[in-house]
Structure 1
């Protein structure tokens, strides 16, 4: 009886070790530090950072455009007047002031 059990164990031990190795590597392929789930999470973070970068780049381009309108070689009178009114907190007589609560 013991010999039959040892023979059965000898025949099944190799495949069981192989199945165990496959299960181990399959688990770590999905759940590991460099697995599929980590890859998906990192791709999500990259996409979020790209959106933030695009937003900041748009804001920067808008600011650079506004600054270029105030350069001495190409001075936009309307922009200069707008900045002067904001900085001095003054307006002309008869002007209508609309408050923007977003800022």
Structure 2
């Protein structure tokens, strides 16, 4: 009986070890530090970072355009006045300003 048990144990040991190793590597391939789940999370983070970069780059380009328009070599007087009026909320004394009554909501 003991001899039969040893024979079965020795014959089933290599497949059991192989299955354990296969399970270990399979689990790590899905859930591990570099597994499929981690890669999906990294792709999501990369997409968010690229969207944020594109928005920031667009804003940077807008500011670069405004700065180049207001630089000393190519300053445009009307652009400068427009920006100053918008910031200070003022109008030129020669401008004609007409106050409009607020529109009534449609009924």
TM-score range, shorter chain: 0.7 to 0.9
Distance across 2 between alignment mates of 1:66 and 1:96 = 29
Distance across 2 between alignment mates of 1:83 and 1:75 = 12
RMSD after superposition: 1.6
Instruction: State whether structure 2 residue 7 is matched by structure 1 residue 16.
Output: no
Matches within 5 A, 1:73-92: 73-92=73-92
For structure 1, the residue ranges without an aligned partner over 5 or more in a row are 98-103
- Higher-helix-fraction structure: 1
For structure 2, the residue ranges without an aligned partner over 5 or more in a row are 100-107
Instruction: State whether structure 2 residue 50 is matched by structure 1 residue 50.
Output: yes
Q: Could you say what secondary structure the match of 2:38 adopts? A: helix
Distance 1:56 1:5, change over 3 A: same
TM-score by length of 1: 0.84
* Count of equivalent residues: 97
Distance across 2 between alignment mates of 1:18 and 1:84 = 77
Counterpart residue number, 2:27: 27
TM-score by length of 2: 0.82
Instruction: State whether structure 2 residue 96 is matched by structure 1 residue 94.
Output: yes
